[in-house]
Each structure stands twice: as C-alpha cells, then as structure tokens.
C-alpha cells in the first residue's frame, strides 16, 4: 500500500499540529548546522545579508560571561546575608474549612468489581467494595457492566436486592470490564459497578424492547421513560446509551426526535465474547436481549466528553456508488471488496476467493465516512468491514452506509489503539474544562474489536493510561460492539472501532 504522507489531511490539504504525531517543531528565524565537528549559525541581517558565526566560539564567550556574572551575584548575596537581620516567617496553618471543601465536593462515588465465578458472590463482593466509597450514603444511580459468562437476570436481581433505591443502567461487555483498579477478566466472568449519590446530578433510566417496537419508536419510548424517571422538564444535558447491535442509527433518530440534535448521546452497543448474541442491556429491573437502555442526565456540573477513533488517515479515497443498509456493493463503480483490497495492499486477498468474515484482518484498516458539519467541520467516522460477500465482492460493515457517501481508508497498529486510552480521556477533560484530578467519576467505552487487536499482555495498561490522564478519579469501563457519539455541527452518529470518555466535575 502506498501512503504518500499520512500526516497530511487529504481533504483540507493541511497538516495537524506536528506534536500530535510526535514530530519536533522547528523555528525558522535562525538555524544551526554542523561542519567538520563544529557548529555554525546562520543569522539573517536583512536586505539579503546573512552572517555565518562559529557557534562553539560564541558558546565559550557566553559561558565565561555567565560564570563571572554568577560569581558577582553570589558575593553580593553573601554580604547581604551577613549584615541584614532577617525576620522570622511562620506559615499559617491551612484553614480547616478550605481543606474539607476541597476534599468533599458535591458528588459521592463508590465503585467495585469482581471476577468470582458465582454471580451472587461476584455482586456481593463488588457492592461491598463500592459501599466503602459511599460513606454510608444510599446511591441514586448505579452503572453495571458485566461479561456474558454470568446469568444476567441473576446479576441484576442481586444488584437490586443490595442497592434497592438506585436506578440501574448498563450492559454486557466483551471479555472483561474496567475500573480504576485494573482490567478485570475472570475464568467465568467479571463485572464492575459504579454508584453515585449527589444532589447536584439527577439521573433517569429508561428502556424499551426492539422486539416490541421499531427501532426509532423504541429509542423514543426509552428516552421519554428516562426523562419521566428523572422527574425533570426539558432536555437533559447528556444522554448515555446502550443497545443491542444492529439498529443503532434508527434508535439514535428516535432519541433525537425527543431531545433534538444538540444534546450529546454517548455510549456503546452491548457485547459478548464471540458475537453469538448473548449480549444484554440493563434498565432498572429489566434485562433485554434485544433492546435499548438510556440514562437522561441533568446537572449544572461540568461534563467533559470525547469520542474518537485514533487512526491515521491515508490518501486512498472514493465514493460509495452502490449500497444498501450495511452493505457496500461498489466504490467508484467497482466491486467494493476489490477496491478495499487494493487500498490495503492485499489484506483480504484470500477472502476475495472464498468470502467470509474479515474482522481481524480489517481492524487496523477501517474505512471512514467523511462527514461535513454545518459550520465547516470535517469528521471522519470509522466503520469496520465485517465480511466479504460473493459473488458480487461486496463488503458488509458494522454501520449504515448510503450511496454518495465519501469514504477514505484509515490505518493504525496496536500501539496507536492502546495510546488513545490516554489521549481520549485527556481530551474529555479539556472539553469539559475540568483540571486533572478534579473529576468526580468517569465512564469509558472502548471498542471490543480494537481491544482484541491489542496483545493480551498489553491490555492491563488501558486503565493505567486512563488514570494517567484524569488523575485519582474513579471510573468504570466497558468493551462494546459499536459506539455512539456526538459530532459537532452534525448531531449524533453510530461508528465502529471508536473509544469515548465521559467525565463529571467534582464541584461547581
């Protein structure tokens, strides 16, 4: 594959800030070079006159002058020290009120996790841990992420038994779950809980079944139920979402029918360990196998969020000329799989002969839809090729596509995918104007496909990188089969191979 310049934006023709790619910045007013072991400097004196100076000689003269100056300063300071009586300085004791205010905040959070084999024991252990952070308070809201190895009905029943006053939102996660304490993977399963008690945040959880309603209507019903359970009027500040994979775009439209396109809707599709359909969604006392769960969030606290893929763009671009639903039949009037194979220098050559799943082959080479916002914004929404279909050599993907969509090829490696666990939480802090260490809690979503592309021994670094960005702040994380997020100037969209972070400030 020929990639002329991965740093250059093929759409705008410009370059991102070089530090974003680990490239040093260089000044242009003067420059140094080496000649036979000696450094020389070219200085521009204007009017086309340039003077070459021996930098080594300049350095020697500068060093002598600096040393003389330092000696003079030390002598003067010594004389002053000997002749001037210094007053005693006593630092004041810190104000107890200030210390208490800084340490308490307005949000109380507890979190816990477990990898025990028995569901009841796992929930009991996780709840025991999270209660230590709640300081005796009863939580208003609980996030629950669990792998599919447990009986989901038993898990939810136990959480309700132990935390009866809380609204519960959550879903199943692929392979493991995340907390501030680590990347948790058990023999049978793992689960994580995060509980919140606060008078400054109001949560409302709602759900709906996709077996009983069309996806758009299910999204509308779920958000109306969430707003009702929050006992609030008006639009929420943010909506947290999870659903069964497959109809995410239509569900988002239903939610936007109620809250509009300017409210961020962020989250991820529920997952299992092997795409066998064991995913589940939790909404208060309901467990859905094919449903949607939402949380409507109202608060005056700052909320920071970021929704990013973290791949590099290439200059391989085209237009979808034939498509339906989640199948790309043609790119530039040619069979889509053949074009993709050429762009990637033969990554799916074997599957062009046999057809079949190409998930692992394409994780480092996603396509991206080029989406332009009302204010001139340009977004690259990554989509993951799932399979090659014969005889037409079409590509099935994990997101909806339409004829006329402009697309390009992106690429990456496991190091890039891992490092976004630090970059995306940092960007969420910046977006929310929240200093490091001043968040109350975070919710992290990481695509399961990208997690599986990271070597197993490197995955425990994910929570370490998150904490390195946000500081000593509790968080909970899940691995998903599709990710939803907000694109400024566009609205809410469903993509693949994405990670996202939501973080709440601690105090107003």
Tell me the pLDDT tens digit for each residue of 34-55. Answer: 233 333 333 333 333 333 444 3
What mean pLDDT value characterizes the chain? 84
Share of the chain above pLDDT 90, in %: 78
347/456 same-domain check: no
In a domain, 213, yes or no: yes
182/230 same-domain check: yes
pLDDT greater than 60 at residue 31: no
Which of 369, 368, 373 is CA-nearest to residue 490? 373
Structure tokens, 457: 């021994």
The enclosing H or E element of 7 equals none
CA dist 443 and 241 (Å) reads 12
- Select from 379, 411, 443 the last residue of a domain: 411
The enclosing H or E element of 440 equals strand 439-447
In a domain, 418, yes or no: no
Contact 41, 30 (CB under 8 A): yes
pLDDT greater than 60 at residue 104: no
276/127 same-domain check: yes
199/273 same-domain check: yes
284/316 same-domain check: no
**Domains: count for the chain:** 3
110/205 same-domain check: yes
Distance of CA 175 to the CA centre of its chain: 18
131/145 same-domain check: yes
In a domain, 468, yes or no: yes
Structure tokens, 196: 């919140």
In a domain, 14, yes or no: no
327/389 same-domain check: yes
In a domain, 207, yes or no: yes
pLDDT, tens only, 197-214: 999 999 999 999 999 999
Distance of CA 114 to the CA centre of its chain: 24
pLDDT greater than 60 at residue 278: yes
Strand order in the sheet with 475-480: 182-184, 177-179, 475-480, 439-447, 499-505, 303-308
209/274 same-domain check: yes
In a domain, 3, yes or no: no
CA dist 332 and 330 (Å) reads 6
pLDDT greater than 50 at residue 2: no
458/399 same-domain check: no
The pLDDT of residue 105 = 57
3-state secondary structure of 80: helix
In a domain, 429, yes or no: no
CA dihedral sign, ordered 232, 233, 238, 242: positive
Q: Which domain holds residue 53?
A: 40-80
In a domain, 24, yes or no: no
Q: DSSP of 89-129, one letter per residue?
A: --PPPPPHHHHHHHHH-S-EEEEEEE--SSHHHHHHHHHHH
CA dist 177 and 147 (Å) reads 7
Least confidently predicted of 23-37, 141-155, 338-352, 442-456 = 23-37
236/167 same-domain check: yes
114/226 same-domain check: yes
């Amino acid at each position: 594959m020929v990639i002329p310049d991965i740093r250059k934006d093929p759409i705008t023709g410009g370059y991102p800030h070089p530090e974003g790619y680990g490239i040093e910045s260089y000044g242009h007013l003067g420059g140094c070079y080496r000649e036979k072991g000696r450094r020389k400097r070219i200085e521009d004196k204007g009017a086309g006159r340039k003077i070459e100076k021996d930098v080594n000689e300049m350095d020697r003269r500068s060093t002598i002058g600096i040393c003389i100056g330092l000696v003079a300063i030390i002598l003067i300071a010594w004389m002053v020290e000997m002749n001037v009586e210094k007053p005693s300085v006593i630092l004041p004791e810190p104000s107890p009120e200030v210390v208490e205010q800084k340490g308490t905040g307005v949000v109380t959070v507890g979190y816990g996790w477990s990898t025990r084999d028995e569901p009841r024991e796992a929930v009991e252990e996780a709840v025991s841990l999270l209660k230590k952070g709640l300081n005796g308070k009863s939580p208003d809201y609980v996030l629950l992420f669990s792998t599919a190895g447990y009986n989901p009905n038993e898990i939810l029943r136990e959480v309700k038994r132990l935390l009866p006053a809380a609204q519960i939102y959550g879903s199943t996660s692929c392979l493991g779950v995340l907390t501030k304490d680590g990347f948790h993977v058990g023999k049978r399963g793992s689960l994580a809980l995060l509980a919140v008690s606060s008078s400054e945040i109001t949560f409302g959880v709602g759900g709906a079944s996709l077996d009983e309603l069309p996806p758009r209507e299910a999204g509308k019903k779920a958000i109306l139920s969430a707003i009702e359970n929050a006992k609030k009027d008006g639009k929420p500040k943010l909506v947290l979402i999870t659903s069964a994979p497959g109809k995410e775009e239509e569900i988002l439209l239903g939610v936007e029918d109620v809250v509009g396109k300017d409210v961020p809707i962020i989250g991820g599709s529920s997952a299992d360990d092997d795409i066998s359909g064991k995913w589940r969604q939790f909404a208060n006392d309901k467990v859905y196998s094919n449903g949607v769960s939402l949380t409507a969030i109202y608060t005056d606290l700052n909320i920071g969020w970021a929704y990013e893929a973290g791949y590099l763009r290439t200059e391989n671009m085209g237009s979808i000329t034939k498509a339906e639903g989640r199948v790309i039949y043609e790119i530039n009037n040619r069979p889509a799989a053949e074009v993709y194979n050429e762009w990637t220098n033969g990554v799916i050559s074997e599957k062009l002969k046999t057809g079949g799943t190409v998930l692992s082959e394409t994780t480092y080479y996603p396509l991206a839809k080029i989406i332009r916002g009302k204010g001139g914004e340009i977004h690259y929404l990554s989509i993951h090729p799932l399979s090659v279909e014969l005889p037409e050599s079409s590509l099935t993907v994990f997101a909806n596509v339409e004829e006329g969509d402009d697309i390009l090829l992106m690429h990456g490696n496991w190091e890039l995918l891992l490092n976004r666990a630090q970059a995306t939480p940092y960007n969420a802090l910046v977006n929310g104007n929240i200093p490091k260490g001043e968040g109350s809690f975070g919710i992290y979503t990481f695509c399961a496909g990208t997690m599986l592309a990271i070597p197993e021994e490197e995955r425990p670094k994910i929570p370490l990188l998150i904490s390195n960005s946000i500081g000593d702040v509790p968080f909970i994380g899940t691995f998903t089969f599709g990710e939803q997020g907000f694109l400024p100037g566009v609205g809410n969209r469903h993509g693949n191979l994405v990670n996202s972070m939501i973080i709440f400030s601690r105090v107003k």
